[in-house]
A and B are shown apart, each in its own frame.
Chain A
């Protein structure tokens, strides 16, 4: 079945098809239409789930944690401040090894108040122990939710997952979306089979105290191993999904015309579609550029990034957030995995914060900047804020 859906409706459909039994929801722009759509599904009897209308995002995640620990599949969604409010319990969810799947609609953090897209909210949670997958279109939003349950719920993984979409550009924009058959999704996901659960027949304390000489560190190490193992499961599940549902996702990095590229732009989310367009135009003019859209930021695709660097002379990393460290997050991670593997210039382009438009014109200028660095072999400045008001270079 094909439908015209917004990104948020696609997320709601992804959730519906995955049959979570408990949903805990709290509104926040631009996420709200996800939980409204789900409310409609439930109100119309199209979805069989308990819907807890919590009083905060913190409680949304806490209720999901408790429900999932009781042995059911759960789902929630949030954005920006809601995600930040969850911070404590996000870390709880991963430490408790609960394969919760949550949609996050990327939105800027205040002040200044802004409801538009920006990736600081999810980047600030990169160390929370959640798998993070960034999407580029509404189809990918829907498909990624289904795939994420399958990956997260494997007993060798048991890590919660954020399925991330850009505010408005996806969340409130309609596209044609192919809706898989419920039966096929049921076959693909299977019944939820919890690795452990609260059960009066088996008294146990979940998440109890551990002294420094106890296995605290070992439990954290097991999480690190699970996140590593997730690479294998992601690969397997994406391939299985592609086959079953006739899709063509690359598991970790979607590459576009990177084969003989002099410079490759590394991006997250919807910037990928704009960049691909610009690449086509520039290729017509004989400029050899390519795009690599990172899907999974956690676990970070280290091998794939290293292989990518072997194909080119320069990498420009676009970040729609800033971390006040040595550049922004995607850049810092990219550079760190390339260290010792590829001796090519890497530059960070910070742009589009607070939902500022990332136009083809700007990206073309960035590509040209990247090409000149590729040619000269030196980076003029490591971190460039692109498109600041008054800066004529990019307009």
Chain B
């Protein structure tokens, strides 16, 4: 006998080649637990193109189409339409792509797929840089972060631009379902996925997936870092159903963002002023989100 808060079925096998403490792997585990076996995945170039292992190995109990970097949106459209043509409307079609493949090189195909309204899931597992190629800055890298292409140096050339809000870009496509999630909150993530499963049309998830290798934190802290991202409001959890915002977790006393930053080597160089600037940015974004929630609910 056991009391579980998430489904017991396992569709991700061990023996994969992800780094120790990989957050993206945990994200995949939950996504498949929520969606189940009747699912087809499409994965572009990203960590997850390597995690399943070298041919002839696979670590997923569902079929997986490997694709080129920028095509996830187009690939899931093709799979969906082919399945529908074959009368297999019940199969879940899931694009599972990193932040580089989503916020940067794959944004065009994603945007078009969302606009066309295919009945698909697009899951952006956001580890906030090109991790598979060795930690290069992406549009989704947060303000202040070190990466190998924003290495600091004498000129303090870090990533100073704000993180691109892909979830908000997807909201602007007027698709029926957009959500953020992170691995420290599996019950939240899985309930969102199950809710989304009932909705026909494009469903977009941005899942913050800490990466010990790239974020420079100890691998045992993956879940803790993910939790702190929510508790400091730097990565709020919310969903937008048909344009209506609903914040999933509102921390009563948000922790200072410094607690989140200090766990990670990629922010080690930050000065107090820089941390204050990031805090200000976090506060503003949080306020804006609260406002969006209020306004969109008021419209009723």
A and B are partners in one complex rather than unrelated chains:
yes
By a beta-carbon cutoff of 8 Å, the part of chain A in contact with chain B is 21-22, 24, 49-50, 52-56, 58-60, 62-72, 74, 88-89, 92, 198-200, 202-211, 214-215
0/1 string, B105-120, CB within 8 A of A gives 1: 0001101100010000
Which of the residues B55, B62, B76, B81 comes within 8 Å of A22, measured between beta carbons? Answer: B81
Q: Which 7 A-B pairs have the closest CB atoms?
A: A66-B78, A55-B112, A62-B71, A70-B82, A59-B74, A63-B78, A67-B78
Q: Is the CB of A52 within 8 A of B58?
A: no
Q: How far is the CA of A348 from the CA of B271 in the complex (A)?
A: 68
- Pairwise interchain contact A66-B65, C-beta atoms closer than 8 A: yes
- Residues A52 and B62 in contact, CB atoms below 8 Å apart: no
B66 in contact with A71 (CB, 8 Å):
no
* A50→B82 CA distance, assembly (Å): 8
- CB pair A204–B58 under 8 Å, yes or no, is yes
Docked Cα-Cα span, A202 to B85, in Å, equals 20
Among candidates B49, B63, B78, residue contacting A199 with C-beta atoms closer than 8 Å: B63
Q: Tell which of A50, A52, A205 touches B60, judged by Cβ atoms closer than 8 Å.
A: A205
7 cross-chain CB contacts under 8 A: A21-B82, A21-B86, A50-B85, A54-B77, A66-B77, A70-B78, A200-B39
Interchain CA distance A120-B42 in the complex, whole Å? 33
Q: Which residues of A contact B108 (CB under 8 A)?
A: 55-56, 59
Partner of B79, one of A70, A205, A209: A70
Please determine whether B111 and A66 come into contact, CB atoms closer than 8 angstroms: no
A-B contacts counted at CB < 8 A amount to: 152
How large, as a class, is the contact surface on chain B?
35 or more
Pick the residue among A58, A67, A68, A70 that contacts B71 (CB under 8 A). Answer: A58
Please give, as numbers and ranges, the residues of chain B lying within 8 Å of A60 by CB-CB distance: 74
State whether A22 touches B61 (Cβ < 8 A).
Answer: no
Q: Which residues of B contact A203 (CB under 8 A)?
A: 58, 60-64
| A319 to B78 Cα, complex, angstroms | 36
Which residues of chain A come closer than 8 Å to B67, judged between CB atoms? Answer: 62, 65-66, 92, 207
Residues of A within 8 A of B58 (CB): 203-205, 208
Q: Which residues of A contact B290 (CB under 8 A)?
A: none
Please tell me if B20 contacts chain A, counting CB pairs below 8 Å: no
How many Å lie between the Cα of A53 and that of B50 in the bound state?
31
Tell whether B91 is near chain A: CB-to-CB under 8 Å.
Answer: yes
- Contact: B52 with A63, CB < 8 Å? no
Residues in chain B near residue A59, CB distance under 8 A: 71, 73-74, 77, 108-109, 112
Instruction: Name the residue on B nearest A199 (C-beta).
Output: B63
Q: How far is the CA of A199 from the CA of B78 in the complex (A)?
A: 14
Min Cβ gap A286→B in Å is 58
- What are the residues of chain B within 8 A of A72 when measuring CB–CB? 82, 85-86
Residue in contact with B63 in the complex, picked from A92, A198, A214, CB distance below 8 Å: A198
**A104 CB to nearest chain B CB (Å):** 19
B74 and A200 form a contact (CB under 8 A): no
CA distance A88 to B105 in the complex (A): 14
What is the distance, in angstroms, from A38's C-beta to the closest C-beta of chain B? 14
Shortest distance in angstroms between A19's beta carbon and chain B's nearest beta carbon?
11
Interface string of B38-68 (1 = CB under 8 A from A): 1110100000011011111110111111111
Q: B75 near A63 (CB under 8 angstroms)? A: yes
Interface pair B63/A66, CB less than 8 Å apart: no
Cross-chain contact A54 with B91 (CB below 8 angstroms): no
Task: List the A side residues contacting B116 at CB < 8 Å.
Answer: 52-53
Q: Report if B83 contacts A (CB, 8 A).
A: yes
Question: Which residue in B37, B61, B81 is a CB contact (below 8 Å) of A52?
Answer: B81
Chain A residues near B85 (CB-CB < 8 A): 21-22, 49-50, 72
Give the CA-CA distance A208 to B112 in the complex, in Å.
26
Distance A203 CA – B63 CA, assembled complex (angstroms) = 4
> Contacts of B112 on A, CB cut-off 8 Å?
54-56, 59
Q: Does B10 contact A (CB under 8 A)?
A: no
Q: In the complex, are the beta carbons of A66 and B83 less than 8 A apart?
A: no
A221 to nearest B CB, angstroms? 15
Residue interface bits B78-103, CB-to-A below 8 A is 1, else 0? 11011111100001000000000000
Q: Which residue of B lies closest to A53 (CB)?
A: B116
With both chains docked as a complex, state the minimum distance between the C-beta of B205 and any C-beta of chain A, in angstroms: 20
Residue from A62, A71, A211, A215 within 8 A of B68 (CB atoms): A62
Q: Measured between alpha carbons, how far is A205 from B116 in the docked complex, in Å?
A: 27
